[in-house]
Structure 1
Amino acid sequence: MRGTIRLTLALLLLGAGINACRNREAQDTAPPAAAAAQSQAAPRKAASASSPAPTATEPAVSAPAADGCLPAAPAVTQAPRPPQPLSGRLGLWVAEVDPRTLEPRRAVAFNPDGVFPLASTYKQAVLWALLREFDAGRISPNERFDVTPQNQSLGDYPYDGSNVRELSQRMVQFSDNTATDILHRRIGLQRVQDVADRLHLCHTRLILPTKAWWVAETGLSPAFTSNRDWGTTSGLQRLQLARQIDADAQRQRYDQLQRRLDDYFDHRYDPADDLKVHNLSTPYELATLVTHEFLRPGLSPRAQNWQREVMATGFGRSALKAQHAGNIDFFGGKGGNGWKLLTYSGYFQTKDGRRVVYAFMQHGADETYTMPNTRRAFAWINAAVDEVLGEQRPQKAPAIPLPTDTPAERAKADAVKAAQQDRP
């Protein structure tokens, strides 16, 4: 059983890392006040208007409500039922957005304000924060890092001496956890959280590197276990506690952490724990982040080209009917998965210039290994896109690959399936 759990986890975590940053974390800045992410979205007042159109170098930001947060998702058409069964808590937002105002022209949704774990989908925010640091002259794409036990996370990891540009590619294309943690710490924990805070996304938490949330969930972080109000913290208090949790994470070897995860998921797993420790968002807030990320990121032309090149390697384009109908001019996306959870988000521009964003979230699935749910997730995303844009008609139905659909990963997945069939 435990061997199976270990192998399954290796598949679940979407790549990972063993890298250690050379103790050069950027100085974190104090965040603006924001409401903490909760397990369920709190009611929020609707704003009466949007901000004026931003300049080319200034991110567009919707006017916050009276509580300082982005208003709840607007009332839109209910999303169609999933064409194929999906278990657990689900959330979906799919919209065509106006490239000038960044408001939805047409959208469909299901549970758009529910709060879900992000898993590796959060890594696109690390890239955006990295590129802001690049534009500010605080990070060079040629800065290099080595792997150390302190920064080693789960899964595969980059070579010693990998530079920032290479790490950013691995973080998105291969969902490498160590590459992510190296960059996240180098940027600074709060500067990644600022991606959400500047957009008033009060239910979006981006502050913890990957290794930190696993250490917290397994009880290996004294800072977390002795301070159960983590979920209600914000501002400087949250930053200070996040630093303490991350310091605890860097004291753990990856193999020790893996053994504790095996035991936790085998005997003590509670889905509520995911909402306490993971980075979080809602379908609507994540889609808002993605909209700004691609349409008004506030980056220099060089940084924006870097962003689009890297994000174009994220998973999703081959799974969209619009791609197989020859209707996608540009695509950028990111997915994430974990124990009983799966997330996908993306942005694409059609050949006739329409801009579409989507965010799918699943938590508490019946399946522990959720990657095969990718096909079901995109069947629902595609049905929603058809509602928003009109039916996309590929010449033949797309054969949707899995993000890890390589010979090595297929062999691992076959081993997992065989082991699961032998379970009592």
Structure 2
Amino acid sequence: MRAPPPALRNKGRYLLAALALAGGLWACRRPDAAPPRVSVQAAAPVRPETAVATAAPDPNAPGCLGNAPAALPAPPPPLPLSGRLGLWVAEVDPVTLRPLRAVASNPDEVFPLASTYKQAVLWAVLRQFDAGTLPPTERFAVTRENQSLGNYPYDGTTVKDLTIRMIRNSDNTATDILHRRVGLKAVQAVADDLGLCRTRLILPTKAWWAAQAGLSATFNGKQGWGAATGEEREHLAAAIDADAQKYRSDYLQRKLDGYFEGEPDPVNDLRVHNLSTPYEFATLLAHEYLRPGLSPHALKWQHEVAALGFGRSALREETLHNVAAFYGKGGNGWRILTYTGYFQTKGGRHIVYAFMQHGADQTYTMPNTRRAFAWINAGIDAVLGEQRALPELKAAQP
């Protein structure tokens, strides 16, 4: 595999860049008519080299949410996108949180989440704030052990400011500090409590990169990691994270560069990354933003911070005029791109979306953002139908 340019290697491949893209540039054609309602089918072939090679929990086991309900096939991507692709766009009932109308492509396939998983860390932080175990003014120091790749916060940064950096700047060190502070198990519980059996949220960023770079003896010696659940997964995750904290971030970056300059296997992404399916992660967001079980104070914190995530400006102009509230996040990695979010329209409709790309032809995937949102917007149009600007309406509080 051709090595990426030095500029890309030096910046770190897994960092979510700051985006300033105008959503009005990304309008896409609205389908003339909706196809008949059918069960979801894969819209694109899965390349063998990107297929899941490790065992995964059975989504239909007791206590699991199960596969996505029947939905309309998603419109074809208006602009070319390579690799494995997944999309789930749904209008959800704000009371039951069940999909009222949805379009989908490969909604039950597992994809690496990259930085979009940080929305789950925010929810876990707010839960512990409400429990009285995590004051928003608690301060943290950046150390050799907890520094991850990319930029990082100043010493003495508060919990509240770390959540802002995590969502607005996609700061990996801020994320890892918060993830470890609330506990690896607490972040995984965000998914487990909802029965999202194919969703793994337990590893901090530095831990999955250390595993991918070959620096975790625990990971190297445990072939069954992908199928581990419950206490076994918690024990292994803690050990993998302990391995990762032994290394300076600059050394980890060099080792990761060496891995990607060789012959990286896309299957390894599925072994080391936090994971989910488009349907499961969109379900998580519906609960996080519509039924989070938080106090009024925590809800205010959530709304302030989650609104800083990327995605609002990438919506089509007609949609954007009708948005009363928006919360979103994106993530990118080596041939990986994800965008997920929730918004409420001024007319009181609630939309969740999850776009996932894995094994893209492009090593650096951020330039695919316009293409990704062209597809997301086509899905939103298919769900919402013809739109027109409405008067300003205050967003209802979940």
Q: Normalising by structure 2, what TM-score?
A: 0.85
Instruction: Give the Cα separation in 1 of the matches to 2:182 and 2:160.
Output: 13
- 1:20 match: none
Q: Is the 8 A contact 2:54 2:227 kept in 1?
A: no
Change in Cα spacing, 1:91 to 1:230, as seen in structure 2 (3 Å) is same
Asked whether the equivalents of residues 80 and 383 of structure 1 are also in contact (C-alpha less than 8 Å), the reply is yes
4, 14, 27: which one aligns with 2:16? 14
Check conservation: 1:142, 1:165, Cα contact below 8 A. yes
Residue 266 of structure 1 pairs with residue 261 of structure 2: yes
In structure 1, list runs of 5 or more residues that go unmatched. 17-36, 46-65, 395-424
Q: Does 1:83 align with 2:85?
A: no
Cross-structure match for 2:201: 206
Q: Over residues 334-393 of structure 1, what are the superposed CA-to-partner deviations in whole Å (9 max), with x where a residue is unaligned?
A: 100000000010100001100000000000000001001110000000001000001346
Is the contact made by 1:43 and 1:72 (CA closer than 8 Å) also made in structure 2? no
CA distance, structure 1, for counterparts of residue 371 and residue 226 of structure 2? 31
The letter of the residue matching 2:180 is R
CA contact (8 A) 1:92 1:359 kept: yes
Counterpart position of 1:176: 171
Are the equivalent residues in 1 in contact too, given 2:13–2:334 (CA < 8 A)? no
Alignment of 1:222 onto 2:217: yes
The residue that corresponds to 1:148 in the other structure is: 143
Please tell me the residue identity of whatever aligns with 2:85. Answer: L
Report the RMSD for the aligned CA atoms in angstroms: 1.9
SS at match of 2:12: helix
State the SS of the aligned residue for 1:357.
strand
Query: Aligned pair count?
Result: 354
In structure 2, the partner of 1:419 is none
Q: Supply the AA of the counterpart residue of 1:264.
A: Y
Q: CA deviation at 1:71?
A: 1.6
Alignment of 1:15-30 (within 5 A): none
Asked whether 1:4 is paired with 2:40, we answer: no
From 111, 118, 131, the counterpart of 2:113: 118
- Range that drifts further, 68-77 or 323-332: 323-332
- SS of the residue aligned with 2:351? strand
SS of the residue aligned with 2:153?
Answer: coil
The C-alpha deviation readout for 1:299-327, integer Å capped at 9, x for no partner, is 00110111111010000000001566511
> C-alpha separation between the residues in 2 aligned to 1:88 and 1:8?
25
Tell me the equivalent position of 2:307.
312
Q: Is the 8 A contact 1:196 1:289 kept in 2?
A: yes
The corresponding residue for 1:249 is 244
CA distance in 2, matches of 1:374, 1:41: 29
Which residue of the other structure, out of 69, 73, 89, is the alignment partner of 1:74? 69
**Aligned pair partner of 2:155 in 153, 160, 167:** 160
- What TM-score, normalized to structure 1? 0.80
Question: 1:30-61 deviations in whole A, cap 9, x for unaligned?
Answer: xxxxxxx986877654xxxxxxxxxxxxxxxx
SS of 2:109's equivalent in the other structure is: coil
Alignment of 1:5-404 (within 5 A): 6-7=8-9, 9-10=11-12, 12-14=14-16, 44-45=59-60, 67-321=62-316, 325-392=320-387
Alignment gaps of 5+ in structure 2? 19-51, 390-398
Structure 1 residues 373 and 87, CA gap change in structure 2 (3 angstroms):
same
Whole-Å Cα distance in 2 between the matches of residues 325 and 241 of structure 1? 43
Q: Is contact 2:312-2:320 (8 Å) kept?
A: no
What is the identity, as a one-letter code, of the residue corresponding to 1:208? L
- The answer (yes or no) to whether the contact 1:38–1:231 under 8 Å persists in 2 is no
Change (3 A) 1:196 1:43: closer
Distance 1:38 1:346 in 2: 28
Q: Which amino acid aligns with 1:374?
A: T
User: Contact between 2:56 and 2:226, CA under 8 Å: does it hold in 1?
Assistant: no
CA distance in 2, matches of 1:387, 1:313: 26
How far 1:181 sits from its partner (Å)? 0.2
CA distance in 1, matches of 2:259, 2:159: 34
Partner amino acid for 1:167?
A: L
Cα deviation for residue 13 of structure 1 reads 1.6
Q: How far off is 1:149 after superposition?
A: 0.6
Q: Rate the CA distance shift 1:359–1:41 in 2: closer, same or farther, 3 A.
A: farther
**Whole-Å separation in 2 of the counterparts to 1:272 and 1:262:** 18
CA distance in 1, matches of 2:207, 2:344: 35
**Cα deviation 1:149-175 (Å, max 9, x = unaligned):** 101100000011000000000000000
**Cα distance, 1:175–1:165 mapped onto 2, change above 3 Å:** same
Q: Which residue of 2 aligns with 1:50?
A: none
Query: 1-side partners of 2:85 and 2:54: how far apart?
Result: 14
